[in-house]
Amino acid sequence: MKLLEYEAKQLFSEEGIRVPKGILVGKHEEILLHMDAIPAKVAVKAQVDVGGRGKAGGVLMADRDTVIETARKLFNTTIKGLPVQRILIEERLEIRHEYYVSITIDRTKKQPVILFAETGGIDIEETAKTDKKAIRSISFCPLLADVPGFLLRELCGDAPVEIQATVNRLYHVFCHKDALLAEINPLVTTPAGVYAADAKLIIDDNSLARQGIVLNRDLTEREREAEKHGFSYVELQGNIGVIGNGAGLTMATLDLIEYYGGRAADFLDVGGGADSERVMHAVRLVSGVPTVKVIVVNLLGGITRCDEVARGIIASGVPEPVIVRIAGTNAEEGRKLLAEKGYEMLDTMDLVVKKAVEVAS
Ligand code: GDP
Ligand code: MN
């Protein structure tokens, strides 16, 4: 997940990297409430998830008298097609020099790699193309808690020592936040010291839970419920409820529904090794979607046992017809249980989907 500049700056600052004082606003009128804290000269920065904001008009300079009007204009523009919903108003830095630093993972070496250029700023991509030597890089053992001093000196060359310290702090952010990318461009020197004038941080999606980051900030009630049970769940617009195990099988079921002219109401992958209780919750969840007329359960028993699946379906007691295809581990037993309760079962995916489309229409 890519964080916005103000979010990244917050995390950078927690690791001791100096960032400009800033105020985040969602409307230009809000600035009035903060006038006391607005310095004489400011940078007005659109918080949008695109690179090259500056060149696209997303970073404007203003002073105390013009800041509200500047923000109003910026709120009324789009930056590379994205609406501006938040603006960061920062004390304007008196930039002496702009450096570039970026930390990522070299997948071939299986090591962190740090890139550094003595000429950072908005033209870094051009610089990288025209002058191959402009960007230096180092990589080292990921077990080290700090970037080794000799490598920092090699990397940063003639840049001030404080720049080296900042690169090391950025490495701490990179490690502690499970980042895939941590970048400061430009990293600047000013009469007041070294600052991260910009900030970019991409966090590995696999570690969002550990980092306590909630990805979908506005989930529906049902999506929240699905998350609680650990289902991969997406709500769609159709009337055929879908429950599968494994993303591939579930996607294939959706494709087949489309193929036969139906519309799926959801994507729900119960995951591996689902027991009867999980299956019951899944069926009830899908049954709760108001548009659902029929539910297709397409499960392949591996570690998942089909008799458990059958018990879950029966326990759910939902009013909609549930059409089942189960195959694999304990399929016989599962089928027997379902047959006793009068559930419709078909042998192939093709047949269950065809049937469901028929019922739904
Ligand atoms: P980007 O275009 O999305 O990378 O946005 P940046 O935050 O990097 O800003 C673009 C450029 O604006 C920087 O490279 C700086 O040259 C300039 N800039 C940003 N903040 C300040 C500031 O506080 N003072 C000055 N003088 N220039 C700034
Ligand atoms: Mn930048």
pLDDT at 319: 95
Mean pLDDT of 7-15: 97
Q: Is the pLDDT reported for residue 68 higher than 60?
A: yes
Q: Which atom of ligand 1 is nearest to the CA of 91?
A: 23
pLDDT at 292: 96
pLDDT at 154: 97
CATH number at residue 43: 3.30.1490.20
Instruction: Tell me the pLDDT band of 227, cut-offs 50, 70 and 90.
Output: confident
Residues 73 and 118 in one domain: no
Indicate whether 146 belongs to any domain.
yes
Indicate whether 215 belongs to any domain.
no
CATH number at residue 203: 3.30.470.20
Q: Is the pLDDT reported for residue 215 higher than 80?
A: no
Counting the structural domains of the chain, the total is 3
Q: Is the pLDDT reported for residue 28 higher than 90?
A: yes
CB of 122 shorter than 6 A to ligand 1: yes
Tell me the residue range of the domain where 238 lies. 221-356
Which of 90, 91, 98, 100 does the annotation list as catalytic? 100
Burial class (CB in 10 A: 0-12, 13-18, 19+), 46: buried
- Does the active-site annotation cover 183? yes
Pick the more confident residue, 98 or 223.
98
Mean pLDDT of 331-355: 96
Length of the chain: 361
Residues 229 and 332 in one domain: yes
Residues 336 and 228 in one domain: yes
Instruction: Tell me the pLDDT band of 220, cut-offs 50, 70 and 90.
Output: confident
What is the percent of the chain with per-residue pLDDT over 70, rounded to a whole number?
Answer: 99
CB of 309 shorter than 6 A to ligand 1: no
Residue 318's closest CA among 292, 298, 340?
Answer: 292
Instruction: Tell me the pLDDT band of 291, cut-offs 50, 70 and 90.
Output: very high
Q: Which pLDDT tens digit goes with each residue over 77-133?
A: 999 988 999 999 999 999 999 999 999 999 999 999 999 999 999 999 999 899 989
Tokens of 143: 């077990």
CATH number at residue 240: 3.40.50.261
CB 311 within 8 A of CB 276: yes
Mean pLDDT of 301-305: 91
What pairing do the DSSP bridges indicate for beta strands 111-117 and 97-106?
antiparallel
Q: Is the pLDDT reported for residue 216 higher than 70?
A: no
- Does the active-site annotation cover 6? no
Mean pLDDT of 56-76: 97
Residues 111 and 168 in one domain: yes
Beta strands in the chain (DSSP E): 22-25, 41-46, 59-63, 78-79, 82-83, 87-91, 97-106, 111-117, 135-139, 179-190, 193-196, 200-203, 232-235, 240-244, 266-269, 294-301, 322-328, 344-345
CB 114 within 8 A of CB 41: no
Q: Which atom of ligand 1 is nearest to the CA of 92?
A: 23
Predicted TM-score (pTM) above 0.85:
no
pLDDT at 43: 98
Q: Which residues in 232-265 are b (16+ Cβ under 10 Å) and which e? A: ebebbebbbbbbbbbeeebeebbebbeebebbbb
Mean pLDDT of 294-312: 95
Please report where in the chains the tokens 């458990």 appear, as a residue: 308
Angle between helices 5-14 and 161-176 in degrees, nearest 10: 110
Residues 62 and 173 in one domain: no
pLDDT at 218: 64
Tell me which residue has its CA closest to atom 24 in ligand 1: 93
Instruction: Tell me the pLDDT band of 152, cut-offs 50, 70 and 90.
Output: very high
Can you tell me the distance from the alpha carbon of 55 to that of 60, in angstroms, rounded to the nearest whole number? 10
pLDDT at 223: 86
Can you tell me the distance from the alpha carbon of 336 to that of 266, in angstroms, rounded to the nearest whole number? 28
Residues 228 and 350 in one domain: yes
Q: Is the pLDDT reported for residue 217 higher than 80?
A: no
Mark which of 167, 185, 207 sits at the end of a domain. 207
Complete DSSP assignment for 139-199: E--TT-SS--HHHHHHHHTTS-HHHHHHHHHHHHHHHHTTEEEEEEEEEEEETTEEEESS-
Own/partner pairs, 61-64, CB within 8 angstroms, 24+ separation: 61/92, 64/35, 64/38, 64/39, 64/40
pLDDT at 168: 98
Residues 62 and 125 in one domain: no
Q: Which atom of ligand 1 is nearest to the CA of 51?
A: 3
